[in-house]
Amino acid sequence: MMPERMAKIRVVAPKAYMNQVISELYSLKAVHLAEHDASELETGNPLEEAEKLSELLLITKSLASHLGIRPGPCKSPQKESISDIEKKIRHIQQLLTERLEKQKALDEKLNALSQAESELAQIKGLGLQIGAFSEYSSISCLLGRVKEPQALSKKIGRLTEKYKLYFNAENSVIALFIDNQKKQDALEILNSYDFSQIMLTATRELKGGVDENLQRITAEKELIERRRQEILAELEGLGRKWGELIRSYDRTLSEELEKAEAPLKFGATKNIFILSGYIPKGSLNHVKKRLEIAASGKMHIQEEEIGEPEHVPVKLKNVKYARPFEFLIRLRGLPHYDEIDPTFMVFLTFPLFFGFMLGDIGYGLVTLAIALALRSRMQKAKSLLTLIAVSAVTSMLFGIVFGEFFGEESIMGWPIPHLLSRAGGIQSLLLASIIFGALHINLGLVLGFFNELRHHGLKSAMLEKFSWFIIELGAPFILSLLGIIRLPQHLFYASGSALAVGIIMLTIAEAKIGAIGPVKAAVESITIFSNAMSYARLMAVGIASVELALIVNEFAKELFRQGGLMIMAGIAVLLIGHVINLLLGVVGSFLHSMRLEYVEFFTKFFKGGAEPYKPFGEKN
């Protein structure tokens, strides 16, 4: 129940063999390289080709992005030199650049035409030629939008007789031609009508009428759009032609760059380099032999003792059928190297809690079928779906215990044999939930005791963890005080004494944090009982699920009794109601089970947060 045992090694070798050693480490995919401590020795420099590889990889990813090449599996890359790869990448880049430049020029032309089209559309209803808006020496043209353009003419007329006003009532656009000397006065009048000026920039060079220019622009835009589509088709063709090769080069360059940057984790002098790393103990001898061959025997490999505390990368080690439940552990954080790995315990208890809450043969069957169907199609969610499939099986088993099939305790009128009825056995379910909780919490305390014993010795384990077992002996005393049970006098005092002793032990353990220690110990001593009561959710969620199922069934039965079209309505009610209840049941059971593991169980022994084991050369 511990993570994979690791060996820490230190390798010293001549720089002349650095490339060979790095390549061998990469192919072994077994050594987790540790960051070098620069206080001991200068950090190494990346290999000479690192900068070139980084540049080529950046170009490759840019090509993939522009050509719409998605990441995915590719054939094993052919053995090509970096110079050959660069030539092909530069060639593809040139092909892409030519088309992108053409596309950019067309886009700029299209934008200019669209702007001109917009300007022409605004002045179209004025009945003027485009040349009318040219600059004059003695006349100003004020073009824009105003409110109530019809009323404007009278006010301008009072100002001067030397003007000409054109307006389009549909879009409130006006063009006022007026003597330069009256321009400012005219602007004041226009502003009183909320004048918003229109600037003609894209149409300055145009000649002729508005309509004929609009027709010409429309034709040009259609031509440009066809050319753009041709270029897009060419880009798609480039993507199809070179996609596989670009994916292959992306993989090759990423691998080579990772190798080239590996010395950044090494220590180095003028002639030698030093690296440290962690290896699963079972692979140590094999790795040693391979590295010694790579360096022609001119290498010193030393196994070092793992200190305490030391941030050792963690590789989980579990039996095959429990590995899907590592998903929940990774979600919370990996156990530290010297911590107990709770995966197997979660494998035993999570499906139990999930099944107890969902607890229905029908719902379990549907959940199992969906999980297995999705499992083959969603590789990234394989562990999660396997976990749900296992939990669905326990739901079916508890469905047999409760005798439930989609909420009913009978199938087609035939009663289902059962050991416990959820519809009428709330007290029994609550008792079972509290018993589950007590066992689960105490399992966590046992694991916590052994963790503490390993790290800090027997005294700390007794005060930090064993004190909780003694506090639990005070439960009858508390229940007696609350009037829930009656105890003989000698048991009453014995239970109360156990509670006091447990709190004192916990107070001593918490004394290291100062004066607040006793207060914290007193408060925490009560949490063990509130934690146990938290498991009542197992009963509550299960009862809510079965009651909702029964409501859906009764509503559908009432519709069936009415006959006719109501039968179809009843079928719809059954389908929709049970789908909703199943979703609520699965999500609720999953989240509540996860909460019991993380909050009630893990807090008794688990810290987590370790660095995952990532061997050099292994891809995620």
CATH number assigned to the domain comprising residue 293: 3.30.70.240
Task: Report pLDDT for 514.
Answer: 56
- Residue whose token pair is 């056995």: 425
33 three-state secondary structure: strand
Residue 247 within a domain: no
166 with 141: CB under 8 angstroms? no
Q: Do strands 410-411 and 414-415 pair parallel, antiparallel, or not at all (unpaired)?
A: antiparallel
Residue 305 within a domain: yes
β-sheet bridge partners, residue 304:
8
Nearest in space to 329 (alpha carbons), one of 345, 314, 342, 313: 342
Measured from the Cβ of residue 445, the count of other Cβ atoms closer than 10 Å reads 20
Query: Residue 150 is inside which H or E element, if any?
Result: none
Scored b (16 or more CB within 10 A) or e, 121-147 reads ebbbebebebeebeeeeeebbbbbbbe
pTM confidence score:
0.76
430 with 590: CB under 8 angstroms? no
Task: Report pLDDT for 519.
Answer: 64
Q: How far is CA 560 from the centre of its chain?
A: 45
Task: Report pLDDT for 612.
Answer: 94
Residue 337 within a domain: no
Q: Which residues of the chain have pLDDT under 70?
A: 74-78, 309, 512-525, 620
Residue 236 within a domain: no
CA dist., res. 524 & res. 515, Å (int): 15
CA dist., res. 359 & res. 400, Å (int): 8
Residue 307 within a domain: yes
Residue 589 exposed, middle or buried by CB count within 10 Å (0-12, 13-18, 19+): buried
Tokens of residue 48, six digits: 């000479």
Q: Do strands 173-179 and 139-145 pair parallel, antiparallel, or not at all (unpaired)?
A: antiparallel
DSSP per-residue codes, 448-471 = HHHHHHHHH-HHHHIIIIIHHHHH
Q: Do strands 410-411 and 32-33 pair parallel, antiparallel, or not at all (unpaired)?
A: unpaired
Task: Report pLDDT for 615.
Answer: 95
590: amino acid identity, one letter = F
Give Cβ neighbours of residue 582 (< 8 Å, ≥ 6 apart).
Answer: 363, 366, 367
CA dist., res. 300 & res. 12, Å (int): 5
Domain with 277 in it: 1-44+266-315
- The number of folded domains in the chain is 1
Task: Report pLDDT for 524.
Answer: 66
* C-alpha Rg value of the chain to the nearest Å: 39
CA dist., res. 491 & res. 477, Å (int): 8
Q: Please tell me whether the peptide bond between 476 and the residue prior to it is cis, using omega within 30 degrees of 0.
A: no
Residue 586 within a domain: no
CA dist., res. 90 & res. 36, Å (int): 36
Measured from the Cβ of residue 391, the count of other Cβ atoms closer than 10 Å reads 25
Residue 290 within a domain: yes
Measured from the Cβ of residue 282, the count of other Cβ atoms closer than 10 Å reads 11
Residue 13 within a domain: yes
